[in-house]
Amino acid sequence: MLRKYMLFLWIAIGLASIYPFPVRAQEERQVILLTASGPITPAMAEYLDRGLGHAERELAEALVFQLDTPGGSIDLMNRMVQRIRNSQVPVVIYIAPRGAIAGSAGTVITLAGHVAAMAPETAIGAASPVGAQGEDLGETIEAKQKEILKATVRSLASRRGEQAIALAEATIEAATAVSAEEALEAGLIDFIATDLDDLLVQLNGFTVELSTGERTLNTVGVGMVEVAQSFIEQLLQVLTNPNVVFLLITVGVQAILIEISAPGGWVAGFIGVACLALGTYGLGILPVNWFGLVFMVTAFVLFWLEIEAPTYGALTVAGLASFIVGALVLFNSPTTPSFQRVSVPLVIGVAVAIGLFFMTVITFALKAMRRPVEVGVEALIGRLGEARTDIAPRGMVQVAGELWSAEVEDGELEVRAGERVEVVGVEGLRLSIRSVVQKIS
């Protein structure tokens, strides 16, 4: 009997080894989705790298990188292109949603995808190189950069035909930009997809060339799994916004000035240091005009001098003028892309807020200077205290933490111990008081 059970057990094990359960093949096939918008930054490159690593570990059918970008640095573009081309998983670059663009470096990244697709009403192109500050390059350097980029796009578009190669080169040489329909007609992209579901339908059966060989996509019934940006990646992406960096630097310096002018606390100082630390990251990524930074530093020095040695607004006016000039040129130049510029209304609004703050400070300072200086016992007039004994008409009161001899003001009734009193006069070392009719329990 035992032999029969053992025989059945071995047969079952043998059948299981011959017909394995197709768990991953049928139930866990998935397409990984990454979504990124804004300028190309180190955080975006890191996000793509992390997403591709996840897709490769999960043996995903494909990775869809939904992109909307005005462009970015050539170094970061090259890093992302290399990662895409060496991916073990097919990468689909999808320019979406409607109204999105793949400008400048985004054009090259789109061509690097194993599949390129665009949503309706999107655009691609205008990939001419510019300098780190957004300025036009010198003739020799520009020619070199253009030739390198043209060679890159020729290589990436080689499988797409001569018309696609010519258009790709035109985006570099003449900053040409085209619509999704024009890009599809030229063969620069593979599909126009209205949404992600439509994209998956069109991808099914499409053959791509990976570094490991050809693969035919099977996207029927696959699940779309989105890998969102981490908090750190989102934070670093925000910190490359010139408006955010401008605000962080401004708030940081102002908070430190408050801490210096009124030491003893730590909240303002901590906020200032934290804001400056975050803002410094953005300064290291964005194309900073150091001329503008010098003007802003000068403005903050003038604000500090106004606090230390008030000039009734003269230094504040000079500081505001320097602040506005510095802020307007901090990331701005005639050829700087709009996405790398500080908003002019934001600069004016912050300058007005700083001006109102210093006007308030100066107003209070002037009122304090005009108030007569009170010294000695005369400063006790108007202070409240407590009767320590019955005062009829003389007794003892406690005012400002000290015991004083006191007498009731002429015409006032007797004051009982414990009642609230107000100092109305001083005669030598004796206070003249009156009851405020508020007994202290």
- Is 406 within 8 Å of 388 (Cβ atoms)? no
The active-site residue out of 4, 17, 37, 104 is 104
Mean pLDDT value across the chain:
83
pLDDT tier, 260 (very low <50, low <70, confident <90, very high otherwise):
confident
Q: Within a domain: residue 17?
A: no
Expressed as residue numbers, the domain containing 351 is: 239-370
Q: Are 427 and 353 part of one and the same domain?
A: no
The verdict on 389 and 305 lying in the same domain is no
Q: Looking at per-residue confidence, does 291 or 203 come out higher? A: 203
Least confident of 7-11, 95-99, 270-274, 295-299: 7-11
Helix, strand, coil percent content, the chain, rounded in steps of 5: 50, 20, 30
Question: Does residue 16 form part of some domain?
Answer: no
Does the annotation mark 87 as catalytic? no
What was the pLDDT predicted at 340?
67
Asked if residue 7 belongs to a domain, the reply is no
pLDDT grade, residue 405 (50/70/90)?
confident
Residues 393 and 313 in one domain: no
The rounded distance, in Å, linking the Cα atoms of 128 and 337 is 12
Domain with residue 225: its CATH number is 3.90.226.10
Task: Give dist(CA 319, CA 303) in Å, integer.
Answer: 6
The full 3-state SS of 159-195, as one line of letters, equals: HHCHHHHHHHHHHHHCCCEEEHHHHHHHCCCCEECCC
DSSP label of 135: P
- The yes-or-no verdict on residue 421 having pLDDT over 70 is yes
Q: What is the pLDDT confidence band of residue 73, given thresholds at 50, 70 and 90?
A: confident
Domain's final residue, options 167, 198, 232: 232
From 109, 121, 117, 119, select the one nearest 83 (Cα to Cα): 109
- What pLDDT score was predicted for residue 263? 66
Q: pLDDT confidence of 163, banded at 50, 70, 90?
A: very high
Judgement on whether residues 361 and 346 belong to the same structural domain of the protein: yes
Residue 1 in any domain: the answer is no
Tell me if 4 is assigned to some domain.
no
| 146 belongs to the catalytic site | yes
Mean pLDDT score, 257-279: 83
Q: 54 to each of 79, 92, 356, how far by Cα in Å?
A: 18, 15, 52
* Residue 19 domain flag: no
Assess whether pLDDT exceeds 60 at residue 17.
no
Residues 29 and 145 in one domain: yes
* 385 class by beta-carbon count within 10 Å (0-12 exposed, 13-18 middle, 19+ buried): buried
Whether 440 has a pLDDT exceeding 60, the answer reads no
Residue 79's closest CA among 33, 31, 119, 46? Answer: 46
Question: In this model, does residue 122 exceed pLDDT 60?
Answer: yes
Q: For residues 226 and 262, state if they share a domain.
A: no
pLDDT at 8 over 60: no
Q: How many domains does the chain have?
A: 3
Mean pLDDT confidence for 281-299: 86
Q: How many CB atoms lie within 10 A of CB 407?
A: 19
